């Protein structure tokens, strides 16, 4: 996370939660507990044997059929399509294995890389939640993107027949 902090910190407070071994362990422990409750999951993104990022279900609500995917990536992992590839795998799993109805992607309004990832996943911009959260002494807008199971299945079928 230390290597990724300059790229993540401007957009989300998540990086500030992992500043040393104890705080990083606490974050991972929270994800382990949430995974045991079927409420969230976290996965590493590896490049040539080095952890360069991660994708996660920041929320996973099987009862409502809605989940949210998030990500982080350090500079060494950028430009390889790793976030989209990993997020595609999570989306496939959510729809095909778990029967979810909707996968969401929330991004800070100015986070162009994150927004482009949502676009590359074929998601639709649902709207902007204005001044949704405070961070760094300012309130920030949050864009909400999503893809529905029927849209994903149609997209996957067209790719398979290309």
Q: How do residues 103-117 score in pLDDT, each as one tens digit?
A: 999 998 988 989 999
**Is beta strand 50-61 parallel, antiparallel or unpaired with respect to 138-148?**
unpaired
DSSP type of residue 94: I
Residue 14, token pair as written in the block: 């998540």
Q: What is the distance between the alpha carbons of residues 50 and 44, in angstroms, rounded to a whole number? A: 10
Q: What is the distance between the alpha carbons of residues 83 and 108, in angstroms, rounded to a whole number? A: 16
Residue 90, token pair as written in the block: 């999570």
Averaged confidence pLDDT in the chain? 86
pLDDT band at 33 (very low <50, low <70, confident <90, very high): very high
Number of domains in the chain: 1
What was the pLDDT predicted at 162?
Answer: 40
For the full predicted model, state whether its pTM sits above 0.75: yes
Q: Are 12 and 135 in contact (CB under 8 A)?
A: yes
Kindly state the percentage of the chain with pLDDT values over 90.
54
pLDDT higher for 5 or 127? 127
CATH of the domain at 154: 3.40.630.30
Location of structure tokens 């992607």:
105
The alpha carbon of 162 is separated from its chain's Cα centroid by a whole number of angstroms, namely 27
Q: Which domain holds residue 74?
A: 5-160
Run of H or E residues at 78: none
Q: 148 has which bridge partners?
A: 102
- Please, what sign has the CA dihedral across residues 117, 18, 137, 131? positive
What was the pLDDT predicted at 141?
Answer: 93
| Range with lowest mean pLDDT among 17-21, 36-40, 79-83 | 17-21
């Amino acid at each position: 996370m230390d290597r990724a902090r300059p790229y993540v910190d401007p957009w989300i407070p998540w990086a500030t939660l992992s500043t040393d071994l104890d705080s990083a362990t606490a974050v991972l422990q929270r994800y382990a507990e949430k995974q045991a409750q079927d409420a969230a999951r976290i996965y590493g993104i590896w490049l040539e044997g080095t952890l360069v990022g991660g994708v996660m279900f920041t929320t996973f609500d099987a009862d409502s059929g809605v989940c949210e995917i998030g990500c982080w990536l350090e500079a060494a992992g950028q430009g390889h399509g790793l976030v989209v590839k990993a997020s595609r795998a999570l989306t496939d799993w959510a729809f095909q294995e778990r029967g979810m109805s909707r996968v969401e992607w929330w991004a800070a309004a100015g986070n162009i890389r994150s927004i482009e990832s949502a676009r590359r996943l074929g998601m639709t911009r649902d709207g902007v939640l204005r001044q949704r959260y405070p961070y760094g002494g300012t309130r920030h807008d949050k864009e909400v993107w999503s893809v529905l199971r029927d849209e994903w299945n149609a997209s996957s079928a067209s790719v398979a027949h290309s």
